[in-house]
């Protein structure tokens, strides 16, 4: 796919009914920072929890209205799953006017290929998480989860999130980051010079051998964070908006 003009990329907004200030921040961003661009790429964890397209909740519905409005203004919207909202399906994507992207995928910006990913698959040092990730990606596990009642799914998802938070607190910082050997394999295997991902909440511009770069998106817990790609290159934006 070739993205034309100006594109904005973000991830890890973690929208939640428990944190209305993040929702306000995200909507303000949509209203004030996007009108000059042609495409918005959301690279996962837009929502803190997603239990299925049949139960979007008030927040999910509000977000769909906002995103659809952007799509109506002619901005192309793309969504890639994160580990928190991997259950977003074609129904909600259509409702929000978003096209679903595979993880990873290569998009051409200004004729330059850029590999986009949420990033959690590359955190291979976290063996426990990778085992859980493989488990939840199984179709039968997904179906069994979606067959439960809404209340059961909410309870399960909150438990999983709390266990994940506990696991993060108890684990060495290093295993929560991407594995450098895996990153080198991704560069070598894909042939791209630029990787953009989120998930780790460690926004930074990493350069390898002066030519390759790995740009990490930031989370939206206390400020906005996004990358803009236009004909001049890639620019980091964010802070208080």
Question: What is the binding site for Mn ion (CB under 5 A)?
Answer: 45, 82-83, 199
Nearer to Mn ion by Cβ, of 199 and 214: the residue is 199
Contact 171, 165 (CB under 8 A): no
Nearer to Mn ion by Cβ, of 6 and 214: the residue is 214
Nearer to Mn ion by Cβ, of 76 and 83: the residue is 83
**Pick from 62, 52, 135, 65: which is nearest to 96 by CA?**
65
- Taking the CA atoms of residue 52, residue 27, residue 223 and residue 34 in that order, the dihedral angle to the nearest 10 degrees is 110
Nearer to Mn ion by Cβ, of 6 and 217: the residue is 217
> How far apart are CB 85 and Mn ion at their closest, in Å?
9
Position of minimal CB gap to Mn ion = 199
> How far apart are CB 218 and Mn ion at their closest, in Å?
12
> How far apart are CB 201 and Mn ion at their closest, in Å?
8
Cα 211 to chain centroid, rounded: 25
Q: What's the rounded Cα separation, in Å, for the pair 217 and 70?
A: 21
Contact 30, 136 (CB under 8 A): no
> How far apart are CB 82 and Mn ion at their closest, in Å?
4
> How far apart are CB 191 and Mn ion at their closest, in Å?
26
Nearer to Mn ion by Cβ, of 48 and 228: the residue is 48
Nearer to Mn ion by Cβ, of 120 and 228: the residue is 120
């Amino acid at each position: 796919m070739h993205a034309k003009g100006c594109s904005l990329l973000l991830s890890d907004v973690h929208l939640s009914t428990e944190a209305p200030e993040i929702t306000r921040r995200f909507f303000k961003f949509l209203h004030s920072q996007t009108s000059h661009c042609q495409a918005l790429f959301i690279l996962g964890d837009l929502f803190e929890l997603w239990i299925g397209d049949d139960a979007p909740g008030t927040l999910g519905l509000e977000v769909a209205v906002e995103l659809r409005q952007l799509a109506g203004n002619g901005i192309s919207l793309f969504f890639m799953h994160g580990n928190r909202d991997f259950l977003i399906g074609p129904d909600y994507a259509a409702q929000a006017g978003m096209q679903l992207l595979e993880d990873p995928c290569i998009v051409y910006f200004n004729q330059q290929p850029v590999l986009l990913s949420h990033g959690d698959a590359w955190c291979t040092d976290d063996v426990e998480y990778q085992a859980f990730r493989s488990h939840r990606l199984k179709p039968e596990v997904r179906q069994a989860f979606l067959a439960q009642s809404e209340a059961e799914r909410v309870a399960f998802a909150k438990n999983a999130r709390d266990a994940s938070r506990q696991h993060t607190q108890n684990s060495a910082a290093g295993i929560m980051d991407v594995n450098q050997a895996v990153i080198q394999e991704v560069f070598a295997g894909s042939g791209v010079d630029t990787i953009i991902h989120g998930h780790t909440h460690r926004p930074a511009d990493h350069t390898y051998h002066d030519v390759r770069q790995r740009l990490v998106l930031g989370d939206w817990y206390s400020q906005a964070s996004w990358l803009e790609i236009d004909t001049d290159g890639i620019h980091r934006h964010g802070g208080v908006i």
